[in-house]
Amino acid sequence: MGDKKTILFPSLLFAILFLLITITGYFQISIIEKNIENLLRGEGEIVYTHIRREIDINMEYLDLLERSPTIITPNFLNAMISDEAILEDLYNLFSAMQTVDAGKIPLSNFAVIDPNGNVIFKKGDFTIPPASLSTLLTKRQDTVLKMPTHKDSTLVMGMWVKGRIIFFSIDRQEMDALRKKFIIKDILEREEQRFNVVGIRIYDERGSPYLTVTGEKANTFVLSKPLDSRFLPGYRMEVFVSKKLADDTLQRTTFSFVIILIFLALSGAISTFAIFILERRHAKKMEEMEKELALKERLVSLGRLASGMAHEIRNPLNAISLSVQRLKREFSPAAEKRQEYNQFLDIVRSELARVDRIVEEFLLSTKANIPFSQEKLYTIVEEVIMIIREKAASRNVDIRNNIHTDIIMESQRDRLKQAFYNIIVNGVEAIQTSGVIELFTEKHGNTVDVVIRDSGGGIKEEEKDKIFEYYFTTKDKGMGLGLPISYIIIKDHNGDIKVNSEEGAGTTFVITLPLKQPVEEKGSKNG
């Protein structure tokens, strides 16, 4: 009996201890699972909040562009890039199409035509431009494109795709929907890289999938919430957060509780420490996330700050320039160092002039509120040519001003001069030895086309779409600001600028400007 008691007591004690440890371990694991779920939910909430904010910001900006197309900022160039990406996606979609399947093509109007000009398939009611079709059938071009205008907001594109001709038409409403979807897709693709997010899906108001950016969905935590965006009413979003790291942590913790059977105190300390480390890592990630969001919000005001800084830079520049002039005029070094001294001062003055010119160009590009006035177009261009003529003569470049002398238009004189200056100087620098730059006008009702044609080396095909981007340049010197600034100034005049160029055959810029500015536009600029 004593032996039984001796065996039973330790066994009972062990059983009780084992049961207590098991119960404790069960509750510990349940708490850890709940904490991990809260951590995963927190990650999903951060991504959800950021996506919703990004969608609202981008959709509000897109809506602003649609309602006020005369507002031009550097981000407007990005909107054009998104249009190119949309057309590229459509091209890839048509290229991957084996048979005509209208359900896979997200367009209301498109047609498939064989090489003989016969329509194989047509969806929607739109007219195929005969001239464009003839251009493609004769293979003078592989692609034709009609951009939207004020009178006709429809984009029409035709192209050769795998031995067939595809024509499609996109009206403004459909293009807006495609832009919106592209922007949201871009946001989702960026956000998928955050934390442990492996997928994001958005459903429309009918509950059908609208956009999906997802990878491996196995072993994930899913946060599903209404999107709550005024631009996407009734939409719902799911965020898939990977549980791999959480499961690894849970497995390690479970193993620790097995060790608790022998070392209860030690395993409890290890599990507590594991939770502490996990929460600490998550807190650090959240802190980094908040810093990133704060930085992104501050970037919105950089444009205004840069303009103010440009004004402040000019004051010390002027002081330095005056000091250099005084040094050259009043200070005379020893004869053996005089030439080197003068060369040094000339270099300083040249660099000061270059910085001042950059500041001046930047300031002119931001002064959209300068009043409009009646100006002779010929006089504006002639004043620009007078400034450039010496530089052009040094390169044997003849500038011919054939602008009509009777054209009077409403313009911001100094800004428009800056726009013409940048384009003409660009043409002078493109001519290697000798050549001609010709300027002439073509009047069309209430608008005038200013044509600037040079005989330089032309622009490479792959560089045409980049010349109006900030900081893009093919020259050894320069910052790539001239043409983008000209682009913004022309757009602020409710105008447009197009470039036609062929490598080795020169470049032609066609600048379309209204003779009179809209009343509301003049009011907003002057105000």
Answer for the pair 445, 452: CB distance below 8 angstroms, yes or no.
no
The span from the CA of 235 to the CA of 62, in Å, is 19
Residue among 102, 104, 103, 113 at smallest CA distance from 135 = 113
Q: 22 pairs with which residues across the strands?
A: none
Q: Which of 36-45, 101-110, 290-299 has the highest mean pLDDT?
A: 36-45
The span from the CA of 309 to the CA of 303, in Å, is 10
Under CATH, to which class is 373-526 assigned? alpha beta
The span from the CA of 286 to the CA of 275, in Å, is 16
Average pLDDT for 460-482? 68
* pLDDT at 7 > cutoff 60: no
Measured between alpha carbons, how far apart are the two ends of the chain, in Å?
106
Would you state the structure tokens that stand for residue 512, as one six-digit string?
């379309």
Q: Which residues contact 513 (CB under 8 A, 6 or more apart)?
A: 409, 411, 447, 448, 450, 490, 493, 494, 495
Would you state the structure tokens that stand for residue 190, as one six-digit string?
């960026």
* pLDDT at 448 > cutoff 90: yes
For the chain, give every domain's residue range.
316-366, 373-526
pLDDT on residue 77: 39
Alpha carbon 335 to its chain centroid, in Å, reads: 57
pLDDT on residue 79: 45
pLDDT in tens, 319-352: 777 777 777 766 777 677 777 777 777 777 777 7
The span from the CA of 325 to the CA of 330, in Å, is 9
pLDDT on residue 55: 84
Give the 3-state secondary structure of residue 122.
strand
The span from the CA of 411 to the CA of 513, in Å, is 9
Predicted confidence band at 136 (pLDDT cuts at 50, 70, 90)? Answer: confident
Q: Which residues contact 186 (CB under 8 A, 6 or more apart)?
A: 82
| pTM for this entry | 0.38
Answer for the pair 384, 489: CB distance below 8 angstroms, yes or no.
no
pLDDT in tens, 204-215: 888 888 888 876
Find the length of the chain: 527
Would you state the structure tokens that stand for residue 181, as one six-digit string?
């979807």
* pLDDT at 140 > cutoff 90: no
Residue among 97, 65, 86 at smallest CA distance from 157 = 86
Give the 3-state secondary structure of residue 503.
coil
For residue 372, the 8-state DSSP code is P
Name the burial class of residue 46, with classes exposed (0-12), middle (13-18) and buried (19+) by CB atoms within 10 angstroms of its CB.
buried
Give the 3-state secondary structure of residue 33.
helix
Taking each helix axis from N to C end, the angle separating 264-298 and 244-260, rounded to the nearest 10 degrees, works out to 160
